[in-house]
Amino acid sequence: MPQKTKQTPMMEQYFSIKKDYQDAFLFYRLGDFYELFYDDAEKAAQILELTLTSRNKNADDPIPMCGVPYHAAAGYIDTLIEKGYKVAICEQVEDPKTTKGMVKREVIQLITPGTVMDGKGLHSKENNYLTAVIKDGDDYGIAYADLSTGEMKATVVSDEDIVFNELATLETKELIVAQPLPDNLTKRIEQRLGAVMSVQATEQQVGGLADAITEPLAKQAVELLHAYLQRTQMRQLGHLQPAQFYQTDHYLKMDYYSKYNLELTQAIRTGKKQGTLLWLLDETKTAMGARLLKQWIDHPLIQQAAIERRQLQVASLLHAFFERVDLQESLKGVYDLERLAGRIAFGNVNGRDLLQLKHSLQQVPQIQAIIAGINYEEWTALLTELTPLEDVVALIDEAIAEDAPLQITEGNVIKVGYDSQLDQYREAMRNGKQWLAELEAKERQETGIKNLKVGYNRVFGYYIEISKANIVNLTQPERYDRKQTLANAERFITPELKKLEALILEAEERSTELEYRLFIEVREQVKQAITRLQALAKAISTVDVLQSFATISERYQYVKPNMNQQQKLAIVQGRHPVVEKVLGQQEYIANDIVMDQETFILLITGPNMSGKSTYMRQLALTVILAQIGCFVPAESAELPIFDQIFTRIGASDDLIAGQSTFMVEMMEANQALQHATVNSLILFDELGRGTATYDGMALAQAIIEYIHRDIRAKTLFSTHYHELTVLDQELAHLRNQHVGAVEKEGEVVFLHKMMTGPADKSYGIHVAKLAGLPKELLTRASVILHSLESQAQSPMAHIDEPVEQLSLFQSQQQFVCEEVTQLNLSQMTPIEVMLKVAEWQKKLVD
């Protein structure tokens, strides 16, 4: 940063502070503004659309400068944080009125993308995770926290891919490291997740937060995370909960690509929530319930007892309709207890926040009574956590005024009757107005000046104002001390007014100070209940998610699945839950999915647009619904408990990483082949299409045989390679299925219905017709197809062309036909064929 040879004391102070926050915008408090200088000013002016000015304009090297009013700074800070920047808040920590020389300033908080506590950067239905990763050999310790809720968890993994998957699942906003991570992992994090990277030394030790963790590397990650929070927030963080250790293999595992392909929480096309499983299931009534729902979707259970406990709770709510309606109404009155607790501990809560807390806690007895009234054993454990905090409700009700303002430093926060001294001050302020009115009437009577008035301003205090024409009428001018001269009047103070002024101003000043002190005392008392408040919040969130499951299950006629350990899968009339919601129940065509203990692979054939991918996603979403404890869209369902889901669905070219469709296919396939077990679910959609036909077919067959022989996992494998359908004669645990279609008078109707056996035709030309390709081209394609089928020869062989067909084409069309006959289809990928067809289409149209 450029500096002049000799700096002013203020700029010397600025530089001494800025050197410790080189990676952050320094908001330097000057009076009623936060000022930014040099590079900070130039960047902020551009990002925030501020006017860039300069300090010492007449100097040889003026200092670039811009600023924002302190009372409006929050919006500007939010904008910077949302764009991935950090902001250091530098405040005046001394009163300028009582300080000689330079006012002392300090950074009181470093706000970063992972440490946001409020503002537009914090979305009510989403967690805001800050994650620490520490590497030791091949192992990684991971710890993450949501500062706004106090949640903290940690784990240890031994695979780079798992680290990335955890970070992607958390959608972490900021990553804390002590040492650089491997380049490949860092690149994936930056490109895919866009997380801010921050470095933190590990010297600082943590007291208590990691006591329950025995894994050394996980403990180190917690220490790293907490050290960063302490360094950036610079205050007590009493709401941080002791870190909980978890193991990734205690939940159903899905890698980044599987979650992406299945659109669990984010739609592929829009990147938004709409059209996802989360969108379908979210009938929660509280923000904290919505966040817990997402956590459950990201981490389905694999313990049968835990799954069935949730199912029983959902069933009990499903059958108790009126109680569920009352429960939903009570939940609507519950504010975000998790984040309220965080703000209380953080010290940035106001009177209205405490009123929200009181109102929320007043709903708890009703929620407790409703759950107790359902009277099912599976609710017993949860009921013990639904404990009303009567002491907190009583304290807030007694202390906080019902119309408390947003500001806590301007009075009217504390209720009348809570503190006798405060009541006395307020009485003095009320009487003061009467005293002033009486003094004004007395002065008018004694002087005979009818327009004499008593007034007040912040600079001169109270005064008696007399027009200059009436000053001669003062009978006792010695009583009046001049305070201010105006154009047409003079302002005076008298001994009586001075005495009243002292009483009134003292009452106002001391009243405000006392109110603030009383509010802080109330806040500190509420703070003692944070642990109980967080336990209550977790219980209410769980109730909220379970009622959401019951509501959805009733609305769409879902059924409770039976879970088994015998590898039996039997879904009768199953539906894709999201597609069904979009299309409507009357429009959706249901399908069975049956795989007994002896069936490992379903080989699915059929044309594009017929529903193969939907069928495969349908199974995966049904499994996830079942293992988060929800009912499933089917007439009946029996499911094994899966430990992992692997998918290869859709052409998700990783163009950012410079990888082709085929490379992505092989990488995703390898994930399954390397890590799948007999208890896993594998979904491969048209694997091998990214390379030449014979290569793709050979790889597809080899992969099928490998899964059948060595993994024996439940697998749905769709393909356009009809030659593979003969594998059912060689592989005892493979069955053929196809999507039905009806052809009538040259038109094809896809039934979207799964049928036993292989498809007899691909109907590719019919799909091309639906896509709108030119009629002449489709006619020619039919001729070529018929010739190939009848002669059973290489695509390179010459195909006789009927004269009458050729006569239909002009020169450009003739050229296209000649190109068609010369193509070596066996050496082309489907994508290359599509590009060629697009080229022909353009030529024919032009």
Q: Is the residue at 256 inside a domain?
A: no
Is the pLDDT assigned to residue 811 strictly greater than 70?
no
CATH number at residue 81: 3.40.1170.10
Q: Is 9 annotated as a binding residue?
A: no
- Residues 473/447, Cβ–Cβ less than 8 Å: yes
How much is the average pLDDT of 752-768? 70
Q: Is residue 508 part of a domain?
A: yes
Rounded CA-CA distance 540/361 in Å is 11
**Distance (Å, whole) CA 404 – CA 521:** 16
pLDDT at residue 460 in the model:
81
Q: Which of 78, 111, 144 is at the close of a domain?
A: 111
Mean pLDDT value of segment 430-455: 88
Between residues 617 and 722, which one has the greater pLDDT?
A: 617
Q: What is the largest CA-CA distance in the chain?
A: 129
**Residue 260 within any structural domain of the chain:** no
The pLDDT of residue 160 is above 50: yes
What's the pLDDT tens digit per position in 191-222? 888 889 999 887 656 567 888 899 999 999 99
Amino acid sitting at position 30: L
Q: What average pLDDT is seen over the chain? A: 86
- For position 326, which CATH number holds? 1.10.1420.10
Choosing from 111, 140, 159, the residue where a domain stops is 111
Comparison of pLDDT for 293 and 845, the residue scoring more: 293
- Which among 604, 637, 602 has a CA at the least distance from the CA of 623? 637
To the question of whether residue 790 is assigned a binding role by annotation, the answer is: no
* Residue 746 counted as an annotated binding residue: no
Query: Is 477 annotated as belonging to a binding site?
Result: no
Residues 660 and 794 both lie in one domain: no
Tell me: do 430 and 331 sit in the same domain.
no
Q: What is the pLDDT of residues 524-572, one digit of tens each?
A: 999 999 999 999 999 999 999 999 999 999 999 999 999 999 999 999 9
Is 611 a member of any domain?
Answer: yes
Q: Is there a domain that residue 705 lies in? A: yes
571, part of any domain: yes
Q: For position 665, what pLDDT does the model report?
A: 78
Lowest mean pLDDT among 160-164, 304-308, 479-483, 659-663: 659-663
Q: Are residues 76 and 152 in the same domain?
A: no
CATH code of the domain containing 572: 3.40.50.300
Q: Are residues 90 and 134 in the same domain?
A: no
Query: Are 596 and 501 in a shared domain?
Result: no
Domain with residue 167: its CATH number is 3.30.420.110
Tell whether 713 and 818 lie within a shared domain.
no
Report how far residue 732's alpha carbon sits from residue 718's, in angstroms, rounded to the nearest whole number: 18
| CA-based nearest residue to 736, from 638, 619, 612 | 612
8 A C-beta contact, residue 455 and residue 463 = yes
Is the pLDDT confidence value at 59 over 50? yes
Q: Does residue 610 have a known ligand-binding role?
A: yes
Q: Kindly give the interhelix angle for 337-346 and 287-298, rounded to the nearest 10 degrees.
A: 110
Strand ranges for 31-190 from DSSP E: 33-37, 53-55, 63-69, 87-92, 105-111, 129-136, 139-146, 151-157, 174-177
| pLDDT, greater one: 750 or 369 | 369
Q: Which domain holds residue 812?
A: 772-845
Confidence (pTM):
0.84
Domain count, the chain: 6
Regarding whether 707 and 571 lie in a shared domain, the answer is yes
Provide the b/e sequence for 393-421 (b: ≥16 CB within 10 Å): bebbeebbbeebeeebeebbbbbeeebee
**Looking at the structure, do residues 550 and 566 belong to the same domain, yes or no?**
no
- Domain assignment present for 257: no
SS3 18: helix
What angle, 0 to 180 degrees and rounded to 10, lies between the N-to-C axes of helices 321-332 and 304-319?
A: 100
In a domain, 371, yes or no: yes
Q: Is 100 annotated as a binding residue?
A: no
Tell me whether residue 97 is annotated as binding: no
Q: H or E segment at 465? A: strand 461-467
Return the bridge partners of 151, or none: 146
Cα–Cα nearest to 400, from 521, 506, 511: 521
Does 790 lie in the same domain as 728? no
pLDDT of 421: 87
Provide the H-helix boundaries in 8-152: 9-18, 38-48, 73-82
Kindly state whether residues 629 and 711 are assigned to the same domain: yes
* Per-residue confidence band for 778, with pLDDT thresholds at 50, 70 and 90: low
Which among 603, 554, 585, 146 is positioned nearest to 342, based on CA atoms?
A: 146
546 and 505 in a common domain: no
Whether residue 368 is found in the same domain as residue 427: no
* Cα 190 → chain centroid: 18
Q: In angstroms, rounded to a whole number, what is the distance separating the alpha carbons of residues 544 and 538?
A: 10
Q: Which of 441, 466, 433, 436 is nearest to 451 (CA)?
A: 466
The Cα 443–Cα 478 span in angstroms is 14
> Which of 505, 539, 555 is the endpoint of a domain?
555
CA 796/CA 825 separation, integer angstroms? 8
Residue 826 annotated in ligand binding = no
Average pLDDT of the residues in 729-736: 94
Residue-wise pLDDT tens digits, 482-502: 888 898 999 999 998 888 888
